[in-house]
Structure 1
């Protein structure tokens, strides 16, 4: 049985959090809804899954949370909220750079940023700061960066509706653009939908995703895929490909923070068989460990990629 790559979704991004109450509250303030919660008392951790589900959202309500693009998974290890020595690395501080940020696209960026600021949440970069006046970076309770970008170029007035926001992309820094683009396109079946070259600042951005569940690309606007959900942004800083050894922190070595991205697939066994045939490196195969319903791949930089079954597409013995 073969696996149909056109059905794949960039299902979720996992980040570890110190205090789930504060983190869930922050992301709900940004318009996300708690769509699933998996408590694992025997392993002393809990996962919270959030997504945009309202009537103005791109995907709306879904019966199966694994059938979505762009879910946010918050992982809480019991007791960290009361541990004064526990802290998260956000992926943007040396020597632990790697994961960069999450990004939400909004209807009215000025009003959205004012709403966040009025609520008392800090910013890494406000709209008025720096050279790039069209983006901002808010900070969540653990210091992770959340980029705020504009959807469309039209004037949206003075109000903002968080229920219409999109969880647009997840940014990872990569050592070699060539190797990473080959991996995500040829091995994971993603499509390169946008490239932004910045030779003056010596970095390029590459946006990849699964087009099947996203709207037609907008032409003639600043960011033609701002309406999308579930993009992966790869950031390549010129020259890193020439450095010896690993360049970036994958978030799972100590100190921890970002955990993984996850793709949902039509047939997990067939998908994993395909990855094996392509000689993809595994962190965990389906048969390894206690959880025989998930696998983890490793990308060229050592970032973890979880593979899960899309429950909507799950095949039975009668199919």
Structure 2
């Protein structure tokens, strides 16, 4: 069902041309949708919230000279899909970026991506063992909801809000009887959602450039939108054949939301989170060979935000997707040791 994409064959660069190139020594089946970055006002409050949801801090990078710190969280432990791998060798890491001083600035707030005119990033999603018990636990802890299970017509999903107002979708991992309790050790950091102007253009980019596989499509014609779920199947090997609810059992999926008609609008439709007001920062893909992957992206004529050779940080690059969202590209350090982080 899910065929790996080993990009060591010859491929066509652009329709209508006769130019062919041989791909570099990089294999997209080894790529991982490593992390989603969001900016936070107060890391203490944000870390408390996400740890309450069962995430563990697995790395911290401090840059005092540039006055910011990065906190990386993921589901760890014996029941997690990712185990105790190096943070670059995982799917579904959450990166919190804190710029020093924002916690004491009464005028500072982030754009959560869901309010006009700055819609773009939608949410992260956590799949849980017992959705009713999980939502009760969150509510009892005093955290607010954008949508409770009992709100609206969709009774199978809820949206909690983190301390900065980012939406955290809560979905059910499977449909089995799981009793009356909930255990965060069973949770998955399932997906991140972004809105896209043109489904066809974005799918082409994420499938053909980043090598992802379209796993599930949800058409909602009456409501005027479609959802597309993509991922790297080879990095979720346990999920391919025996999962009871495959999409919800995975970690590290990307959800593209396309609202009908936006592809006909002139100019950019969505806010990428990096223009003011800021909020969501980027998605990140970890690759098998960073230099080769970037050479391949160059051969595909991607739009760059930062090449490897730009600036002082020579171990990260950023490409732009069709809507201007930033995609960070880093080395999977378990496959090829290059950086001491």
The residue aligned with 2:278 is 256
CA distance in 2: counterparts of 1:167 and 1:198, whole angstroms: 24
Kept in 2, the 8 Å contact 1:54–1:164? The answer is no
Residue 229 (structure 2) pairs with residue 203 (structure 1) = no
The residue aligned with 1:40 is 63
User: Which of 76, 79, 85 pairs up with 1:56?
Assistant: 79
User: Which of 151, 154, 177 pairs up with 2:199?
Assistant: 177
What per-residue deviation string (whole Å, max 9, x for no partner) do you get for residues 103-154 of structure 1?
Answer: 0000000000000000000000000110000000000000000000001111
The residue aligned with 2:9 is none
The residue aligned with 1:225 is 247
Going from structure 1 to structure 2, the CA distance change for 1:253 and 1:132 (only over 3 Å counts) comes to same
Q: CA deviation at 1:217?
A: 4.1
Kept in 1, the 8 Å contact 2:243–2:249? The answer is no
The residue aligned with 2:168 is 146
Residue 58 (structure 2) pairs with residue 65 (structure 1) = no
Going from structure 1 to structure 2, the CA distance change for 1:219 and 1:238 (only over 3 Å counts) comes to farther
Give the SS at the match of 1:171. strand
Per the normalisation by structure 1, the TM-score is 0.97
The residue aligned with 2:156 is 134
The residue aligned with 1:82 is 104
Kept in 2, the 8 Å contact 1:286–1:293? The answer is yes
CA distance in 2: counterparts of 1:273 and 1:291, whole angstroms: 17
Kept in 2, the 8 Å contact 1:218–1:225? The answer is no
Give the SS at the match of 1:115. helix
User: Which of 122, 128, 136 pairs up with 1:106?
Assistant: 128
The residue aligned with 1:236 is 258
The residue aligned with 2:147 is 125
Task: Please tell me the root mean square deviation across aligned C-alpha atoms, in Å.
Answer: 1.2
Give the SS at the match of 2:191. strand
Q: Which runs of 5+ in 1 are unaligned?
A: none
Give the SS at the match of 1:170. strand
CA distance in 1: counterparts of 2:306 and 2:95, whole angstroms: 19
